[in-house]
Chain A
Amino acid sequence: MNRSFARGAIYNNLSYCYTYPNEEVCSWLMNGRWMEEIHTALIILTEKPEGLFPPFEGLLAEKTLPGLGSEYARLFNAVAPPYGSAYFGKDGLVPANRTSELCRLYHEARFTLKKDMKDFPDHIVHELEYMGILAGQEGQASGRTKIGLEEMQMNFFSRYLLPWVSEFCKRVAENSRSGFYLSLSLLTGRFINLEKDYLGVPEELK
């Protein structure tokens, strides 16, 4: 497995972790293979993966799962909106041009959000999944295509993900009543920092 696939795997798994914990998602979380997958991928990305991977063991017991949905609603509806635009507009308002810009970007990469997707295009689930898709494509590409995909990732990451995810993770970590979401936010924040070093930031944003 190359580095791109490893990054893609982490993005994809993190994305799924941030979806609403319905029965299907809970069963996937309980299965635990996502943890193995992220851990394995981190070994490829860094020499010291231990410090990046917070403890998840015991946080997803059968008895805690029923409360996960209400914690998700409390946390992400009020305390830590999982939308990029909530962190940019004044008073938390959604700047419409930002979300339409994001849709255009998805379209330019020949992707569109599925019609039954009921969240804004700047939901963390979509932004992480999109990065996962690009990283996965990069893993299979070569030459100019590969370079192009790297640039797309750098641009998307630095303009749309990086500016708000740290604040989002901080709010989750400070307010979470669930050990799972606390650990998830720590892992996300650390991975985003790792990516920042790897992908870099365009000159004009420095």
Chain B
Amino acid sequence: MIVYVTRKLLLTIPLLWGVITLIFILVQLSPGDATDRFFTPETPPEVRAMVMEKWGLDQPVGVQYIRMLTNLLSGEFGYSIPQERPVFEIIGEKLPNTIQLSLVTLFFLMGTGVLLGLSQAVRQYSWWDNIVSVVSLFFYSMPTFWLALVLILLFAVKMEALPIAGMTDPVMHAMMTPTEQLWDRLVHMILPGAALGIAGAAGIARYTRASMLEVVQKDYVRTARAKGAAERVVITRHALRNALLPIITLFGLNLPFLFSGSVLVEYIFGWPGMGRVIVDAIFQQDTPLIIACFFVYTLLVVGGNLIADLLYLLVDPRIRLR
């Protein structure tokens, strides 16, 4: 077990290095840099040279690259020039918000998806199965940003039931009791979470349904039925437990999609998270921040996949470690 985890962790090092190098090359290829916004065409070249020297941008590319790698190795993410703050501080502030939104959404979509898929598979080709199939295909095909706009139009603009944007109430939040604050946060999370999670939940439902239908045909399910086990026990104990195994892998595979979606959702709902940070950083050519964001995203995805692998190992004793 420990050997397996260590090997997986060691394998992420070349992966991270590759990601960082790729992004570094991209940034270097693009014209201009983060200091452009300080200058006008009238800026004297001496001032320009001084600023470049201050941030080390006058060094050859190779030196900049080595310096960046050594800085990252010592846990130093650098300094964001446009935001005039250390990158570590920015990420430390925004990352929890994204993780909060993503995790809540992830559990919501896994739970809903599995329940829906299960309820469909139990009665294949019933009216419920058909309706849910059509509806989930519909939501599965829906662009995240459009769903977000529809939700805003329906629930925030027309019905005025839910807040339109933000993470907390900008005025009242500071004056609330802790329970009210928690409630405030939850209410603000409903629309972004739904926009982010519904398509994923539809996907999981489709997958669970297919997985269940396959497992239900297996011999051990027939054996369980032949022994006279109650249908409920057969479904939950024998069929579902096996059908859920491949779903665990989806838990990890869903992460990149979730982060892709969170960029759009955070942009639309004004959610102060990583998605907004990275979009702004790309627009401002903020190299250290871009690289740090990609570093964090890769770590999250790889970590999520590792957790999914470990869960799989824990749940399925048939799998041997390689």
Q: Judge: A and B partners, yes or no.
A: no
Q: List residues of chain B with CB under 8 Å of any chain A CB.
A: none
Q: List residues of chain A with CB under 8 Å of any chain B CB.
A: none
